[in-house]
Every structure is written in C-alpha cells, then in structure tokens.
Chain A
C-alpha cells in the first residue's frame, strides 16, 4: 500500500499560536482521518473528512480545529490558539476501499 506521509515530523510552538499539520501527498482516496495520541495514552479520533467535507468529529475537535484540502491533494489540520493540552502526536490516516485505515508516521506537536 502507498505510504501516507506527514510533515513536519516535529512541530514546536508557543501557546496561543497557530499550527498547520500536513498529510502529503494523497490522491485517489476518499476518506481521511485525523487522530491524536497524548503521550502514554490511547489513540483518539478527531475528525473524518469525505468528499471535501467533515463527515464526523469528536468532542476534542472544537472550534479551534479545522481541516481542509487546499489544493486537492494535501490534507491539513489547523489548530488555532494552541493550548498546552494540545501537545500530542497527531496521525493522519487514509482509506480508499475496504475497511483498512493506513496511518502516517505522525507529527509530534509540542506546545510550550
């Protein structure tokens, strides 16, 4: 299966700043997901994205979070006004057919 790539691998930001996490490049996939994993804890669902629209989101995905496909291939997660508790590993996943989600290597976000 083609890999899912994510950039950057590590992002450090000051509290209150905005960050953009990217999944690149992706094509011919219908469903995209963002998950996060706070250090030592379980992987949690954030949002699913289908046909250029959010199809489902969790309680974690508040109004500071947004997703988009700005150029038809990249899939981005934007977090505005970052908080200390946003520090986590963020994983992008894609799903083309069948029932298997394939994950990227993740972006480690550190909010200081």
Chain B
C-alpha cells in the first residue's frame, strides 16, 4: 500500500535559517505529491504540489522537487520566519486512472521558528 515517511520532529530553528523537512514515499504507479501546512488552531492548507517526476512545486518561498529516482519530496525554504511555525504534512495521492483519490499523509513535522 501507499505510505509516506517524514523526518522526525520537532524542528526548531532561528529566524532566517535554512529549512529542510525530508519526505519519502512508497506508492505504486505515479502518485501526485503534496505539502500541507497546519497553523496552530487551524485546518490544513495546501502549501504546494507536484504531479509528475522532476516537477518543482513552490509557494511562499517554500520549494519541493518530485524525485522519482529517490522517491522523495523534500520541503525546503531558504530563510524561515517566525510566522512559518506550524505543522507540515507531506502527502500523496495515487490517482490511478482518475485524478481523484484519497490522500495518504505522513506523520507531520512540527516546526518552531524563534526570533
């Protein structure tokens, strides 16, 4: 079955530090990959996505590249801010013959950024 593994957290950084959150996956076929963010007390928000190998998703300074050869989708940001403090979830969707389907999530990584 499908699975997503994220790096263990929590991650604590100082403002303007470089961020990497590792994500690897196991899936059949060609899944689409996503990063969702959950700010304190809120629901899940789509951060970025990539639908095929070598695609790079980007948003709000965050980037992730779909690496089929290493089955990875690591999240990076060059300079984090205090406002980036949240829980980050890597997820995949194995669409099969359609573009619809359930998301399989990783366990989430708590990021705390200090001033």
When distances are taken between beta carbons in the complex, the residues of chain A under 8 Å from B22 are none
Instruction: Report the contact-size class of chain A (Cβ under 8 Å from the partner).
Output: 20 to 34
Say whether B89 contacts A43, CB under 8 Å. yes
- Docked-complex contact A45 and B100, CB < 8 angstroms: no
* B110 nearest in chain A by CB position: A40
On chain B, which size bracket covers the interface? Answer: 20 to 34
The verdict on A99 contacting B107 (CB below 8 Å), with A56-B102, A104-B43, A106-B43 known, is no
Q: Which residues of chain A from 76 to 112 have any CB-CB distance to chain B below 8 Å in the complex?
A: 91, 93, 95, 97-106
Q: Known interface pairs A91-B44, A103-B43, A105-B42. Does A45 touch B106 (Cβ–Cβ under 8 Å)?
A: no
Q: Does B24 touch A at the CB level, under 8 Å?
A: no
In chain A, residues 1-51, which have Cβ atoms closer than 8 Å to a Cβ of chain B?
Answer: 30-31, 33, 35, 41-45, 48, 50
B107 touches A41 (CB 8 A): yes
Q: Which residues of chain B are within 8 angstroms of A104 by Cβ–Cβ distance?
A: 43
Are A33 and B105 neighbours in the complex by a CB distance under 8 Å? no
Q: Nearest B residue to A97 by beta-carbon distance?
A: B99
Q: Given that A91-B43, A105-B42, A105-B43 are known contacts, is A42 also in contact with B108, CB under 8 Å in the complex?
A: yes
Decide if B100 touches A43 in the complex (CB within 8 Å): no
- Chain B interface residues (CB < 8 Å from chain A): 32, 34, 36, 42-46, 49, 51, 89, 91, 93, 95, 99-108
A-B contact pairs, 21 of them (CB 8 A): A31-B100, A33-B102, A33-B103, A42-B107, A43-B91, A43-B103, A45-B102, A45-B103, A48-B101, A56-B101, A56-B102, A91-B43, A93-B103, A97-B99, A99-B49, A99-B95, A100-B46, A101-B103, A103-B36, A103-B43, A105-B43
Q: Which residues of A contact B (CB under 8 A)?
A: 30-31, 33, 35, 41-45, 48, 50, 55-56, 58, 91, 93, 95, 97-106
